[in-house]
Amino acid sequence: MFEIKTKHQAAVISSHFTQLLVNLNWTSAVDFDLFAVYETKAGRVGIVYYGDMGDLNRAPFMQLSGDEGRDDQGGDHQETLIISSLAEMRYVWVCSWDYNAVMGGRAGRFDRCDLHMTVVDDKGQYKLPLVDTRSGNMALVLTIDNSSPVLSKLINSSEVTTLRGLDPTALVSFLKGTLGRAGV
């Protein structure tokens, strides 16, 4: 397993794969939720989350597994995002939120967790720990940069923020702003 352990560190993978699995893992007694925001090469932005779990056979070619860690129970929690194709994507931001804290506009509990992501492709496995220890309610852990025609980059973005409700414009603005900070 290759560890992408520091903020802005990246690993290069082939953009042509059978399937890409992105796992959100944690044991802390917090109900985190995995979600992904994407931007297509045509400039369209969308979100895959509990309200729209996605589809592997048509756009956006990614799908969530379900919801774990409900009611702030500790234990071995894992939520999975499966990606069957990145062909139409420019960027995919894979995130987690403390949903109730987002909706209430209050700080979440990322400062008290052991959250990390693992990415599995045809060639191997990559681990990305969340290294930002601020107490926000939303964490961007992984950016998949597919702007190259041949290779994709997995970037440990590790950035925590506090959202005030589910405002898609504010969310996308924050995510796009992380690209410049990561040198993308």
CB-based burial, 40-65: b 16+ in 10 Å, e otherwise: beeeebbbbbeeeebeeeeebbbbbe
Q: Is residue 183 part of a domain?
A: no
Number of domains into which the chain is organized: 1
Q: Is residue 42 part of a domain?
A: yes
User: What digits encode the pLDDT tens for the residues 127-142?
Assistant: 999 998 888 899 999 9
- Write the Ramachandran bin of 2: left for phi over 0, alpha for psi from -120 to 50, otherwise beta: beta
Tell me how far apart the alpha carbons of residues 130 and 57 are, in angstroms, rounded to a whole number: 30
User: What digits encode the pLDDT tens for the residues 138-161?
Assistant: 999 999 999 998 899 999 999 999
Q: Is residue 134 part of a domain?
A: yes
Domain span at residue 69? 2-178
pTM of the model: 0.93
The predicted pLDDT at position 55 comes to 96
State the CATH number of the domain containing residue 172. 2.60.60.30
The predicted pLDDT at position 72 comes to 66
User: What digits encode the pLDDT tens for the residues 53-107?
Assistant: 999 999 999 999 877 556 667 778 899 999 999 999 999 999 999 877 888 888 8
Q: Is residue 184 part of a domain?
A: no
The predicted pLDDT at position 95 comes to 96
